[in-house]
Amino acid sequence: MKEYYDTRAPEYDEWWLGQGAFAGRDRPGWEDELGEIAGLLGGLAPARTLDVACGTGFLTRRLAGEVVGLDQSERMLAIARERVPGARFVRGDALSLPFADGAFDRIFTSYFYCHLEEADRVRFLGEARRVARELVVLGSRPRSAEEPYERWEERVLNDGSRWPVYKRVFDPDALAAELGGAVLHAGRWFVVVRA
């Protein structure tokens, strides 16, 4: 996956912004809901926060307090460092977090937990609970009743390369039960749970 995200780094924000290959997608209400998510994240109490799989820092910049972003892709981190100069960024493995027990108040992660198969989910949750007392997870809602909640997708990047990616989408209440937390946001496109 590291190679996939290194390759995708320069075009990653196109997904968020509906540009490039995503320009033709029909996503009614996407921008408004993305604004709600930005407000929700900005409204969380300032804390020592670790943004796991922070990518380009697209959402990291919304987090208040002392923020550290972690990602395995140096190309993603280079973009994040420019975007969020007030945060610290570390290259590392999210399944073996390079931090001491209790180093953070909160772990935030967006579009990472959805790519973890069961064994890796267990590892990540163990690590998250080891280094922080709170976990906030952002993921996708299904686009239709027919969309499978769990599947492998083929992602095609702007250079034409093709990558198999494991993906989950979430029912808000089911994700809250899985994490042992509560739903903070359940919109058309996004779900946010705090545990």
Burial 150-160 (b: 16+ CB within 10 A, else e): eeeeeeebeee
pLDDT score for 20: 85
- Residue of 57, 58, 82, 76 lying closest to 68 (CA atoms): 57
Name the DSSP class of 18: T
Burial of 66 from C-beta contacts in 10 A (0-12 / 13-18 / 19+): middle
Question: Could you tell me the residue range of the domain that residue 40 belongs to?
Answer: 2-194
Q: Under 8 Å CB-to-CB from 195, ≥6 apart: which residues? A: 134, 135, 136, 137, 176, 179, 180, 181, 182
Tens of pLDDT along the chain (195 residues)? 778 888 999 999 998 998 988 888 889 999 999 999 999 999 999 999 999 999 999 999 999 999 999 999 999 999 999 999 999 999 999 999 999 999 999 999 999 999 999 999 999 999 999 999 999 999 999 988 899 999 999 999 999 999 999 999 999 999 999 999 999 999 999 999 999
Q: Where in 111-179 does DSSP place strands (E)?
A: 132-140, 150-156, 162-168
What H or E segment, with its residue span, contains residue 185?
strand 182-186
Gap between the Cα atoms of 153 and 150, Å rounded = 10
Start-to-end CA distance of the chain, whole Å, equals: 26
The owner of tokens 């999210």 is 94
Q: Which CATH number characterizes residue 83's domain? A: 3.40.50.150
- Number of domains into which the chain is organized: 1
What separation in angstroms does the CA of 116 have from each of 59, 72, 100, 168?
Answer: 20, 15, 23, 8
